[in-house]
Structure 1
């Protein structure tokens, strides 16, 4: 297909078409938010050459060669983290990193909270239209290397995309900030996806998926039990050594617990996968 629009960096042409630049920035913020949080599938190359303003201020994009994905769990963690930074709740911003598994649990939450504060304060103290969440995340990723933070390639792509999108919106309408516009969207999304009803729905969905897997799990358990009875289930060499070392002791309880452990492991693995 073909897009009939105005290049997003041609502010004069946009104004001459009777379109308010602020409206374009609002639509761009909403579109970017929906891609990342609602869909978990975002355009990873949002430079001005790939963006056009359509009739009414809608946004059209081309060149989908670079796309990023964010799973639901990561979206929730990302939303919590962004909202914590926007509300200057640095303790919560730090805790999200630990809960998501991005920072090892043995690291200090207090130290990481202070790191979040030292990074965010200089950025968030700027006038609203100069605040850059993309720059904040970029500095956060650099500092968190000292905390052995696990690299998240999709978040790195998202951070670079944020910087580009922020630059486009700033050139288009310097007096506003796409994150100020997106904050209500983030808050609404968080309520819908992290509230009690959402968590209850996730629980029921998880139970339903587990129930669907039960027939396969029971079949695998039966196969495992049959192989064990026929002597075709190979034990780890260390387990064999422990059994041999304990030949002078009553073995029935040991063997029984080994059987239980094996069957339980098979059950849990298949139920979770």
Structure 2
């Protein structure tokens, strides 16, 4: 851990009395002794600040990487109390721009030509400057050298990879320290939160990846009236330089301008929800950084408004199994079928197989029932999901990175929708979509599509089936004598009055056989040994 940076962090912690964020009675004695000298220092303005403001100001003082980390924490109300989350929502990723000459030098080095050769116009004053990159306006050259398409040029900051690496190392040390020494540290899972942040921030350091994400999203919504994604100019895009079509839209938070042009606010809010569910369930590829700064509204056709999304560095997707279980969870939850919710969590592997279903169901009911006493239009869909995951964590639910991204995106979308149209009933939009998606999942046309997609792979493996079946039978034949001897020994054991042990071993054999049957690759390698195990176990259970 760099000493100078560590000293800076310690000084900021002391200045804002961050030790007081943890109740004194929860701190170990040695920590209270360590922090004792801080009480002798002047507290200044910190004493008059709430704990959320102190945390926010400390992160701002520590620099842009910590600001972005605070922004991530603001999406985790399952870890932090509401007052801290609200304060962290005010963090702004605005930093002074670096000199235009350095920026131009980086563009020219990446693209192998001078800015004058590459662009008809290039504005030296940046449009925006953030912790990872800054953006300049430009115009591409037309066919005859005249000014053509208006674009934006995004350029990574020099040395940003090294800076991020150092700060990530510091964050890891702090996370391990919190997890090891604070009484509630393990519950907060700080190491996993930092690892989640590492994936997020590293995704923003490769602009080719961001461009590819944008192209995929654009293709998914190519003929849709819901969402527009700017065009990527691949000839001008490299790992540290990205050139995109410049869009002309109204910031989604500029409510006055939206109302002035006669925007249908109710439809705009509903379309935001529809975009989310379409991305998650139909495309299985969703923009996971849809905070208000990245969302605009097209000026065209305000009565049928269309969104514009930028900054596609962070995206998410779910496995087919997670998609299915998530949809069924949401439907069961809003039907108040808490037994089904509990069972689905176990079936999906989100909680352990040995989770007591009755206790888990009771915990879910205790969390959800007070929420559902309200009218559906007043229920926060995202908060229900967060409450569900919080409850599951008490039953050792592991952090699911893909679900954290989903939860973060849903929080952004719902918050945005209610800001645009406070009467938004998210469930009214979501429910029919989920019902339709579940029906289409088992529709013959969908099944036929799956056969067409995977058919060539199945046909390729088909000639191997006879040999695989023969090998499985051989394994079963070799195992049969051993099973026979084991059966005789267990029968003798049973006669000696040890029926309990025989049944226990039979149960193990049944479980082993079931495990083999349920193992991956069932379609291509059905182990005959599993059936032999099952038959032998059944014989043991029925033995007189």
TM-score (structure 1 length as normaliser): 0.74
Q: Is the 8 A contact 1:50 1:63 kept in 2?
A: yes
Secondary structure of 1:149's partner? coil
CA distance in structure 1 between the partners assigned to 2:318 and 2:281 by the alignment: 8
* Structure 2 equivalent of residue 27 of structure 1: 271
Partner deviation per Cα, 1:148-206 (whole Å, 9 max, x = no partner)? 223211001111111111111111100112232221111111111146x4785588569
| Bigger relative contact order (CA 8 A; separation at least 6) | 1
CA distance in structure 2 between the partners assigned to 1:97 and 1:211 by the alignment: 35
* Structure 2 equivalent of residue 83 of structure 1: 331
Deviation of 1:216 after TM superposition, in Å, equals: 6.4
Question: Given the alignment of the two structures, is residue 271 of structure 1 paired with residue 524 of structure 2, yes or no?
Answer: yes
Distance 1:10 1:201, change over 3 A: same
Equivalent residues, number: 239
Deviation of 1:117 after TM superposition, in Å, equals: 1.2
Deviation of 1:23 after TM superposition, in Å, equals: 0.8
Question: Given the alignment of the two structures, is residue 104 of structure 1 paired with residue 357 of structure 2, yes or no?
Answer: no
Q: Is the 8 A contact 2:270 2:417 kept in 1?
A: no
Q: Which of 166, 171, 191 in structure 1 is aligned with 2:439?
A: 191
Secondary structure of 1:57's partner? coil
TM-score (structure 2 length as normaliser): 0.39
Q: Which has the larger radius of gyration?
A: 2
* Structure 2 equivalent of residue 120 of structure 1: 368
Structural mapping, 1:95-244, within 5 Å: 95-194=343-442, 197=444, 201=448, 204=451, 208=455, 209-215=457-463
CA distance in structure 1 between the partners assigned to 2:325 and 2:451 by the alignment: 21
CA RMSD of aligned residues (A): 3.6
CA distance in structure 2 between the partners assigned to 1:46 and 1:218 by the alignment: 52
Q: Is the 8 A contact 1:169 1:177 kept in 2?
A: no
Distance 1:199 1:103, change over 3 A: farther
Question: Given the alignment of the two structures, is residue 44 of structure 1 paired with residue 297 of structure 2, yes or no?
Answer: no
Deviation of 1:66 after TM superposition, in Å, equals: 0.9
Structure richer in helix, relative to its length: 1
Distance 1:149 1:3, change over 3 A: same
For structure 1, which runs of at least 5 residues remain unmatched after alignment? 225-241, 243-263
Partner deviation per Cα, 1:87-119 (whole Å, 9 max, x = no partner)? 212111112112212122221222111122112
Question: Given the alignment of the two structures, is residue 65 of structure 1 paired with residue 313 of structure 2, yes or no?
Answer: yes
